Amino acid sequence: MSDSSTHLHTRLQHTGLADFDPQTGAAPVATPAVRSSTVRFKSLADLDRAQRALMAGERSPVYGRGGLDTHAALEQVFCELENGQRTYLVPSGMAAIVLGISAFVKHGDHVIVTDSAYAPVRAYDKGLAQRMGVEISYVKPDVESVRQAIKPNTKVLYMESPGSLLMEMIDTPALAALAREHQLISVLDNTWGSGYAYRPLDLGVQVSVVAGTKYVAGHSDLLLGAVVTNDPALIPALSEVHYAMGYSVSADDAWLCLRGVRTLPIRMRECAANALTLCQFLDTVPEVKRIFHPAFPADSGHALWQRDALGSNGMLAFTLDLPIPAARHFVDTLNLFGIGYSWGGFESLVQYVEPGLVAPHSYWGNDSLPLIRMHTGLENVDDLIGDVRAALDAARKIA
């Protein structure tokens, strides 16, 4: 289903459904998980047609690694979410980042990364890009800083909005326009918005990367990434590198992700409402000095969020004016927030952010206070606030 006259909520319920059997007139509600490593062809002519289509950058199943019906259904869903023309599924969000950059660079090229981006991008830089002779520079995510960083060999501008640690909103339309002005390919990590709360392709970005592990899947039971573009000129490069890197996603994971996306609007709205309510409570706590959540009116990126975003999610962070041992005790004392990485599932999570992890972010401004990052899940928000209140009381005693 691709009728843009219908609301996204409706399209998410009807996109990627199984076709009716031409003989029985029946079809399952849920698209089956089609598992196969081998694709059979009726004739060599059929195989030749499929091969030509694949080489032209089209979605053409020739071998199981490219995915069959279940994968095609999920790719269609990501295109609906992101308003894209083509989706490439990969095994994780990090794999999506690697594909989203690597498809457009070669030895001797330069990439600009806004310093609000997901921290493991720096692991890609050190672990792969440098070995391949690709230089990466990190800059403050504003137009003038990016403009000054552009070199004759710059090929890609890589961004994330909001940023993964401090939820920093950036002026995506202006940065995307700057990239086009200098013939750079713009790539943006849209895991926070996941196509529902934020649509970077509509804001001028050419490639959106998403960790489907998070809100799209929604149940903390799979790893999956997606790279989506609405620029036909970029499809051949993405197709070539996607194939060359050997990326593959299991049909079962694709099926689970399809299941999760059906409830995406409900889950994201509920998580967002819980996060905003928790921010309002934290704003009354004397020890909380800064709250990072773009939907919260006091956040410095709130105006950009109002202009560019379509909604919010359950992510927030805040600083605590307490000694580090007391801040760590706060995290340890929480009962309803599990300690762990990732987010976007049904459960609430908390992370004590190590100072070295947030230090490279210019938005942080050398703040010396401990930083706590939370994801508010689908629990009752009054229970979550009660849990935070009790943990704060315990931390005060330690302090």
Classified as helix, coil or strand, 230 is coil
Dist. CA 297–CA 22, nearest whole Å: 54
Cα dihedral 208, 209, 213, 214 in deg (nearest 10): -50
CB 248 within 8 A of CB 115: no
- Residue 100 and residue 86: Cα distance in Å, rounded? 13
User: Is residue 63 packed enough to be buried (19+ CB in 10 Å), middle (13-18) or exposed (0-12)?
Assistant: middle
Calpha distance 399→393 (Å, rounded) = 10
Residue 167 is classified by DSSP as -
**What DSSP element (H or E) covers 87?**
strand 86-90
CA distance 106 to 124: 15
Per DSSP bridges, beta strands 315-320 and 135-139 are unpaired
CA distance 77 to 79: 5
Report how far residue 198's alpha carbon sits from residue 304's, in angstroms, rounded to the nearest whole number.
Answer: 12
Catalytic residue among 88, 118, 124, 158: 118
Please say whether the beta carbons of 299 and 305 come within 8 A.
yes
Quick check: is 118 catalytic? yes
Dihedral angle of Cα 170, 173, 178, 184, to the nearest 10 degrees: 90
**56: CB partners within 8 A, 6+ apart:** 236
Catalytic pick among 69, 109, 115, 189: 189
Catalytic residue among 65, 262, 269, 328: 65
Is 397 a catalytic site residue? no
User: How many residues are listed for the chain in this entry?
Assistant: 399
Clarify whether 65 is annotated catalytic. yes
Catalytic residue among 155, 214, 267, 290: 214
Note if 199 is an active site residue. Answer: no
| Residues with a known catalytic role | 65, 118, 189, 214
